[in-house]
Amino acid sequence: MAKLLYAGEHLDCPNYDNRHRPAIEEKFMGQGQRQEVQPWVNKIMFVLEGEIEYSMGDSGYHIARRGQFLFLPANRSLWVRAVQETHLGIVRLYDKIQLCDCFRLENLLAIGQAKSGQKKGNSKQVAGDPGPGFLLEVNPVMESYLEMLGLCHRAGLKCRYYNEGKIRELMFILRAFYPKEDLYRFFSPTLSTDTWFSQFIMSNYNKYDNLSELAAVMKYTVSGFEKKFRKVFAEAPYAWMRRQRAREAYHCINTSNMTLKEISSMFGFNSHPAFIRFIRQHYGLTPGQIRKNSTKGGNG
C-alpha cells in the first residue's frame, strides 16, 4: 500500500475533506446487509467487488454486479442489499454535472431525441423522472482510474482539491470513452433543457415550505418560476412535486418495515384514508396492495 508523506500536514489542512458525506468514499457491506439511502446530491456508485440488489423510487428491484456502476439522482430514495460481501466506491457530485467545457450535459438530450426520432423542441424527456436505472460497465480506462483513485484514497489522500480534480477526470473519461447514447441513458434522471435549473430543483425542492420560497431563493417571481418550471419539467410545479411525493411514499411502502400508518404520518397526511386515496390515484393500488405484492420491505 502506498504511504502518504507528511500525513499530519494533510490532516491539519483546512482542505481535508472530513465531511460526513465526503466527495469520494469507499463502503463495505457484509452479505445480506441492507441499507436505505437518501442521496442529498447526485452520486455515482461503483460496484468494485461483490453484488447488490437495489431499488430506486417506484422502479422495482434490480441487480448490479462487480464492474458495473449506476447514477443515483438527488432526493431519490435508494434501497440496497448486499447479495454477497460487497465493496462500493461512491462519488458525490456536489457541483453541476459537466462532461467537459465543450460538451454540456444538455447536449445529450439531442442525442436521445435523435435516437428516438423526436423533433427538436418537442422532447418527451422529463427532468427527474428516472426509470429503473441504467448501468454502465467499467471499461479498461475506467478500471485504471478506479485503481489509482482507490490507492490514493486508502493511503489517506482526501484533499478537496484532489477530489475535485478526480471528479473532473471521471467526467472526461465518461465523455471520451463511453458512447453518447449510453451516457444519455445513464444520466437520463437529471437531463433537461436547463440542467442547472433542474438539478437545483431536484436537490432542494423538499427544503422549502412552499413554492414562493423556492422561487425566491432562485430569484424568480412565482409566475416566472412556474413558467420556467413548465418549460424544463413539462408539467406544473405542484403536479411534479405530488408525483415525487407519491414515488417516495411508494418506495417506503415497498421497502421499509414501517407500518402503513407510520408512513402516512411521515408523509404529512392527516388521515390514513387520505393517504390511501393519494396512493391509489397515482398507482391504481392501495398501500396495502402494494405492500402485499412486494417481495421485500414490509414482508422482511
CB atoms within 10 A of CB 50: 19
The larger pLDDT score, comparing residue 58 to residue 286, is at 286
The cell for 77 is 430514495
The confidence band for 11, taking pLDDT boundaries of 50, 70 and 90, is confident
Q: Structure pTM?
A: 0.83
Does the 7-190 domain belong in CATH 3.40.50.300? no
Within this chain, domains 7-190 and 208-300 share the same CATH topology: no
What are the residues whose beta carbons fall under 8 Å from the beta carbon of 253, sequence distance 6 or more?
260, 263, 279, 287, 290, 291, 294, 297, 298
pLDDT in tens, 42-98: 999 999 999 999 998 887 889 999 999 999 998 888 999 999 999 999 999 998 888
- Give me the half-sphere count of Cα atoms (radius 13 Å) on the Cβ side of residue 282: 21
Q: What's CA 86's distance to the chain center, in Å?
A: 20
Per-residue pLDDT at 106 exceeds 80: yes
How far, in whole angstroms, is CA 218 from its chain's centroid?
Answer: 22
Q: Give the model's pLDDT for residue 170.
A: 98
State how far the Cα of 136 lies from the Cα of 239, in Å rounded to an integer.
Answer: 32
For 49, the grid coordinates are: 467487488
Contact 105/68 with Cβ under 8 angstroms? no
Query: Which class would CATH give 208-300?
Result: mainly alpha
Which pLDDT band, with edges at 50, 70 and 90, does 296 fall under? low
Kindly report, residue by residue over 183-207, the tens digit of the pLDDT: 999 998 888 888 889 888 988 888 8
* pLDDT confidence bin for 169, thresholds 50/70/90: very high
Which range (23-27, 101-105, 116-120, 288-292) has the least confidence? 116-120
Domain ranges in the chain are 7-190, 208-300
